[in-house]
């Protein structure tokens, strides 16, 4: 069996296994909430990555994800307040030593500190995207890379992103769209749903790439490959301005 055929079979199996896991978990632990299920699955993923990478989660690839991908440079970040929503435990903003403030927001921060996040040169804030504990218009740049489909409440998260981004500030987004829900990605976003960011945000640039068979979304964004196919799972990449 060739590699492309194996990949074509593995992707639907991944979603099927995820659905089975969700229903089995709730059946065994009926008191469990969707939140606890998602957070357990999310942390289990990162623990596996932590072990697989020799107990050292790398972050050298992040700089390009926040700059080159959007046509930005270090100069665009100088003196700015930046928050990364759904940051994960890798230290996504360690590269940004030219900013005034760099915050990683994630409800799993207490668990991530056990994976080495406490050594990173950035702030971590243990809070959900639906209730960001910062004042209105506090941040110059808000980012959410491969995380908007992981949230509990899409509408409340969008409202909070609008609230904390200052006028003239930027929102950097990359997110998989049109995919079946999984335990860690419970929301299947569509292009129509992403229009909820309007009218407060105006798109300055946008593009699509396909979802790779290995589901390495960051690598696909950096490479601009595979090509996006309309109607199939893909990755939406956009830079928006708060107006």
Do 102 and 93 form a contact (C-beta atoms < 8 A)?
yes
Q: Residue 190: CA atoms inside 13 Å, Cβ hemisphere, count?
A: 3
Please determine, for residue 17, whether its predicted confidence score (pLDDT) is greater than 70. no
Domain range enclosing 216: 3-242
Q: Which of 79-83, 96-100, 136-140, 227-231 has the lowest mean pLDDT?
A: 227-231
pLDDT confidence tier of residue 37, bands split at 50, 70 and 90 = confident
User: What's the confidence (pLDDT) of residue 183?
Assistant: 87
Query: What is the rounded CA–CA span in Å between residue 116 and residue 49?
Result: 13
Q: What is the pLDDT of residue 51?
A: 95
Identify the residue whose tokens are 């760099």.
102
**Could you tell me which residue, 36 or 69, shows the higher pLDDT?**
69
- Measured from the Cβ of residue 191, the count of other Cβ atoms closer than 10 Å reads 13
Per-residue pLDDT, averaged over 157-170, amounts to 98
124: domain CATH number? 3.40.50.150
Tell me the pairing of strands 234-242 and 201-210.
antiparallel
Q: Which pairing describes strands 123-125 and 234-242: parallel, antiparallel, or unpaired?
A: unpaired
Neighbouring residues of 119: CB distance < 8 A, sequence distance ≥ 6: 91
pTM listed for this prediction: 0.86
Map the chain to HEC letters: CCHHHHHHHHHHHHHHHHHHHHHHHHHHCCCCCHHHHHHHHHHHHHHHHHHHCCCCCCCCCHHHHHCHHHCCCHHHCCCCEEEEECCCCCCCCCCCCCCCEEEEECCCHHHHHHHCHHHCCCEEECCCCCCCCCCCCCEEEEEEECCHHHCCCHHHHHHHHHHHEEEEEEEEEEEEECCCCCCCCCCCCCHHHHHHHCCCEEEEEEEEEECCCCCCHHHHHHHCCCCCCCCCCEEEEEEEEEC
pLDDT higher than 90, residue 16: no
| Least confident piece of the model among 24-38, 52-66, 153-167 | 24-38
Provide the domain count of the chain: 1
Please check whether residue 124 is in contact with residue 117, taking contact to mean a CB–CB distance below 8 angstroms.
yes
pLDDT of 107-136, one tens digit each?
Answer: 999 999 999 999 999 999 999 999 999 999
pLDDT in tens, 180-216: 998 889 999 999 999 999 999 999 999 999 999 999 9
Q: How far apart are CA 111 and CA 107, in angstroms?
A: 9
pLDDT at 61: 96
Q: pLDDT band at 2, cuts 50/70/90? A: very low
Higher pLDDT, 58 or 11: 58
Nearest 10 degrees: Cα torsion 6, 12, 14, 15: 170
Mean pLDDT over the full length of the chain: 89
CB 221 within 8 Å of CB 235: yes
Separation of first and last alpha carbons in the chain: 52
Least trusted range by pLDDT, from 17-26, 94-103, 182-191: 17-26
Q: What is the pLDDT of residue 35?
A: 65
Segment 89-116 shows an average pLDDT of 97
Given a contact cutoff of 8 angstroms between Cβ atoms, the answer to whether 108 and 42 are in contact is: yes
């Amino acid at each position: 069996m060739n590699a492309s055929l194996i990949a074509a079979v593995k992707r639907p199996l991944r979603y099927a296994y995820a659905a089975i896991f969700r229903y089995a978990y709730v059946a065994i632990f009926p008191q469990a909430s969707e939140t606890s299920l998602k957070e357990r699955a999310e942390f289990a993923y990162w623990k596996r990555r932590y072990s697989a990478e020799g107990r050292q989660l790398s972050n050298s690839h992040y700089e390009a994800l926040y700059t080159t991908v959007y046509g930005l440079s270090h100069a665009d970040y100088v003196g700015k307040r930046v928050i990364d929503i759904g940051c994960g435990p890798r230290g996504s903003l360690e590269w940004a030593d030219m900013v005034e403030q760099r915050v990683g927001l994630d409800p799993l921060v207490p668990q991530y500190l056990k994976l080495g996040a406490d050594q990173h040169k950035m702030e971590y804030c243990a809070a959900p995207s639906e209730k960001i504990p910062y004042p209105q218009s506090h941040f110059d740049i808000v980012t959410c890379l491969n995380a908007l489909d992981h949230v509990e409440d899409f509408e409340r998260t969008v409202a909070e992103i609008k609230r904390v981004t200052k006028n003239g500030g930027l929102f950097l987004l990359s997110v998989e769209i049109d995919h079946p829900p999984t335990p860690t990605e419970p929301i299947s976003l569509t292009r129509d749903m992403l229009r909820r960011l309007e009218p407060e945000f105006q798109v300055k640039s946008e593009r699509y790439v396909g979802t790779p068979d290995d589901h390495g979304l960051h690598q696909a964004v950096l490479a601009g490959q595979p090509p996006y196919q309309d109607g199939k799972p893909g990755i939406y990449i956009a830079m928006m301005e708060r107006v």
